[in-house]
Amino acid sequence: MTTVLVTGAGGFIGGHLVSSLLEQGFNVRAVDVKPFDMWYQVNVNALNESRDLSILEECKSSVVGVDFIYNLAADMGGMGFIESHKADCMLTVLINTHMLMAAREANIERYFFSSSACVYSAVKQEVTDLQPLRESDAYPALPEDGYGWEKLFSERMCRHFLEDFGLETRVARFHNVYGPFGTYDGGREKAPAAICRKIAIAKISGIKEIEIWGDGNQTRSFMYIDDCITGTQKIMNGENRDPVNLGSEEMVSINQLVSITEEIAGVKVNRKYNLTAPQGVRGRTSDNTMMRDIYNWEPKTSLITGMTKTYQWIYDEIVSGRPII
């Protein structure tokens, strides 16, 4: 039976990926630096290990007996975290570097790296009604400072381990993934989860005012977690060796995202705009031409469908009083 290693398994995307692989009958080794009580999901049928994969020897121990690697491990979060933790985000380069070295030494069959839309040049994202980002738009390079540079450098590492050593690497550029079983408070949450939390609290408390970072006109596209997991495995199992976008083309403004969440929650809120808060680029969305051409597939979950599931999960978590991870 094929054994798969998922790094970052205690994270949002990693936990969902482990569940999916187990359902398909794979042996799964799930590794994350966090203690188990801080994992978003702990799948009891996986071999769960807490390891610091920035250390080469820990990477070598993790790959023993493994056939495939999904490397999702990274120190990251929403825009507030990324803009205030640039050095921490850059240090993630140690994880991918050491995982690639361990994978080469262990003759791993195939290696997946989760990159990000943050690799794209900032000059391509200065307006709200931008053209969707194509894979070629990553160069000339001017990515998100810190996190984006680390992702772009690690993409190049994957490319050169393929070219120089024959390690079959696959790279996906994730665009704003959201859904249940993820962080929704504490500073690392992204916009969909943060907005769900704010509107849920407004409904529960009766204080119907929320803060929005920026003017609310900045645009994004958001991909539901189920589509991310499906697309990740398509890219891993395909023969394309170049980085490919994995995201939705359904672009909305943050104001529109708030309106969608209001509709789901059945509540209207006053919007207080914080123009000094981190906002990121003015616009970002995915061009899925390569994904459609190569894999005959693209993310299919509508924003209203995904946000309905996400809001209900976050609302239930808040009402239950369970501690936030």
**Residues annotated as catalytic (active site), given as ranges:** 147
Q: Measured between alpha carbons, how far is 190 from 182 in angstroms, rounded to an integer?
A: 10
Residue 197, Cβ neighbours under 10 Å: how many? 22
**DSSP, res 235:** H
End-to-end CA distance of the chain: 33
Contact 201, 318 (CB under 8 A): yes
Residues for the chain: how many in total? 325
Name the nearest CA neighbour of 180 among 189, 190, 191, 193: 193
Q: Which two tokens stand for residue 125?
A: 């994202």
**DSSP, res 137:** G
Contact 76, 92 (CB under 8 A): yes
Q: Measured between alpha carbons, how far is 17 from 172 in angstroms, rounded to an integer?
A: 14
Name the nearest CA neighbour of 128 among 257, 283, 249, 285: 283
Helix/strand number for the chain, H first, E second? 11, 13
Q: Which two tokens stand for residue 254?
A: 């943050």
Name the nearest CA neighbour of 48 among 65, 34, 59: 34
